[in-house]
Amino acid sequence: MRQTDSQIQQAVLREFKWDTRVEETDVGVEVDAGVVTLTGTVTSWAKKIAAQQASHRVVGVLDVANDIVVKVPGSVGRTDTEIAQAVRYALEWNVFVPESRISSTVSNGWVTLEGDVDYWSQSDDAEKAVRNLAGVVAVTNLIAVKPPKGVSREVQKAIEEALERQAEREAKRIDLDVKDGRVSVSGIVHSWAERAAVIGAAKGTRGVREVDDHLHIVP
């Protein structure tokens, strides 16, 4: 049976209480037709993303509008130069990131990543490496993925096999279209977690540089 907005709201709040990364008293939750709106103020970009991820884990949540504001306390604030140095160290220490091909720009705590990598996972790992750093209020990931050309059929087959391994239930309802590393995914899933499993299987496949998500969530 489909949950009411009130039930979804209470479930999201319980998820916040369970997730130690989220300060549930700092975040407000409103739900309208399965769409969750988050408000409030937190002290880091990582906490904002943690609240967003926790909301998406709740059954019945279709979409999340994250209007949480990040305000870094003055006592632990960093200059943009210090943040830029921390970003560089974080990229250098991550063995999965080709740090020499990635550059960053920091403005008022907002980090913009640019450059190019071979796999989507490298771009994702680079973003994860910097978004939890103290002083970071937001991250814009402009890293381009440049896979080898002319391998569309091989990429599609690899994604199909990944779906069978990781999201067997969803695989039968998913349509894929692959061209030059760009993957279009369509079909029906029953929860955000199922959607994440499908998109994750596509993003984790070598040769994928972009994923167009046309999935529909039908609880």
What confidence category does residue 190 fall into, taking pLDDT thresholds of 50, 70 and 90?
A: confident
- Cβ atoms within 10 Å, residue 69: 10
pLDDT value of residue 172: 67
Which one-letter DSSP state was computed for residue 136? -
Q: Are 15 and 58 in contact (CB under 8 A)?
A: yes
pLDDT value of residue 150: 55
What confidence category does residue 217 fall into, taking pLDDT thresholds of 50, 70 and 90?
A: confident
The whole-number average pLDDT for the span 45-49 is 90
- Residue 115 CA to residue 108 CA, distance in Å, equals 21
Q: What are phi and psi for residue 149, nearest 5 degrees?
A: -90, 160
Across 28-42, 71-85, 111-125, 155-169, least confident range: 155-169
Domains of the chain from N-terminus onward:
5-70 (3.30.1340.30), 77-145 (3.30.1340.30), 152-217 (3.30.1340.30)
What confidence category does residue 39 fall into, taking pLDDT thresholds of 50, 70 and 90?
A: very high
pLDDT value of residue 84: 95
pLDDT in tens, 56-96: 989 888 889 999 998 877 645 688 999 999 999 999 999 88
pLDDT value of residue 193: 76
pLDDT value of residue 152: 65
Tokens of residue 193, six digits: 């977690």
- Residue 45 CA to residue 117 CA, distance in Å, equals 24
Q: Are 152 and 177 in contact (CB under 8 A)?
A: no
The whole-number average pLDDT for the span 100-127 is 91
- Residue 115 CA to residue 98 CA, distance in Å, equals 10
What confidence category does residue 149 fall into, taking pLDDT thresholds of 50, 70 and 90?
A: low
- pTM for the model: 0.64
Instruction: Give yes or no for residue 109 having a pLDDT over 70.
Output: yes
Burial 113-152 (b: 16+ CB within 10 A, else e): bebebbbbbbbbbbbbbbbbbebbbebeeebebebeeebb
DSSP 39-106: EEEES-HHHHHHHHHHHHTSTT--EEEE-PEE---GGG---HHHHHHHHHHHHHH-TTS-GGGEEEEE
DSSP 163-185: HHHH-HHHHTTEEEEEETTEEEE
